[in-house]
Copies of this chain bind each other. A is one copy, B any other.
Amino acid sequence: MLDRLVRKLAHGAALSENDHACLSHIVRHARIVEPQQRLVDEGDANQRVLVMLEGWAYRSKLLASGERLITDLILPGDISHVLTNLLGYADHSVTTLTSGIMAEIHPAEIEVALECSLGLRRALRWSSLQTDSILRQALINNGRRLAATRIAHLICEVRARLHAVEVSVEESFAWPLTQDELGDVTAMTKVHVNRSLRVLRENGLILLQQRRMHVPDAGRLAAFCDFTPDYLHLGYNSAEVRRSEMRASTMEMQAAVRQRVD
């Protein structure tokens, strides 16, 4: 059951047997969660740390006007609300998208585990840095790219993150977001999401049907939106290699797509 979590953290630090034991101990009280279940409410004086063992969720914030934005997706293996026991209250809400398995950790247990395990300290610091990096990437995506590219980039990111915790994403994968929710992630209206999905579909880049995302050619999609997985800090030993490989293939792809678009 810890599979996703362990695989995820392994990208950040080598975990010893002792580290694994600590990890198992703190997430031993996992429970089933329902889709569309509010786990944390903005403003809660809530001190729990959530670990998503299976399933999707998201963090969101509201404006006074009622407008909403989903700031980040929580995928299997992700830790939500990390170490939030140091803040007085939650600055965002957390809601599930699918049913799933979630562990809730009491702050005191987190403290103990961190004291016991160097590997865990490393892994959680890494996880926190990855979160930052993903947020920064979202900022530049939403701020500086056109709608279709923004969506394409999100799809590539989710694919890469799922792949990193060994969820199969070969030809297609589960995509629980409605178009409305997708708009809340990419900072646009559902109408424009619909328009942009059509563009992607008409270019043969994706097919979204019955909550499944089909990506016939992941390389072409990545080229279309200029996606490079560096910022996810996965497989960090081979980062150099993958980066140069990626650049080479990206150039080819871009040329191909440019031809097609003209």
Chain A residues within 8 Å of B, Cβ to Cβ: 12-13, 43, 59, 61, 63-65, 67-69, 71-72, 82-89, 91-92, 107-108, 111-112, 115-116, 122, 125-126, 128-129, 131-133, 135-140, 142-145, 187, 226, 230-231, 233, 236-237, 239-240, 244, 247-248, 250, 252-253, 256-257, 259-260
Contact = CB atoms under 8 A, between A and B. Distances in A.
B115 A64 contact: no
Contact of A85 (B231, B244, B260): B244
A84 B129 contact: yes
A233 B108 contact: no
A248 B122 CA distance: 20
Contacts of A252: 108, 112
Nearest to A237: B88
A233 B71 contact: no
Nearest to A118: B260
Contact of A239 (B65, B89, B139, B250): B89
A142 B69 CA distance: 10
B108 A69 contact: no
Nearest to A122: B86
Contacts of A69: 139-140, 143-144
Contacts of A71: 136, 139-140
Given A86-B125, A116-B259, A128-B132, 8 more contacts: A12-B86, A64-B226, A84-B129, A87-B233, A91-B133, A112-B253, A131-B132, A143-B187
Q: Which of A67, A132, A230 has the most CB of B within 10 A?
A: A132
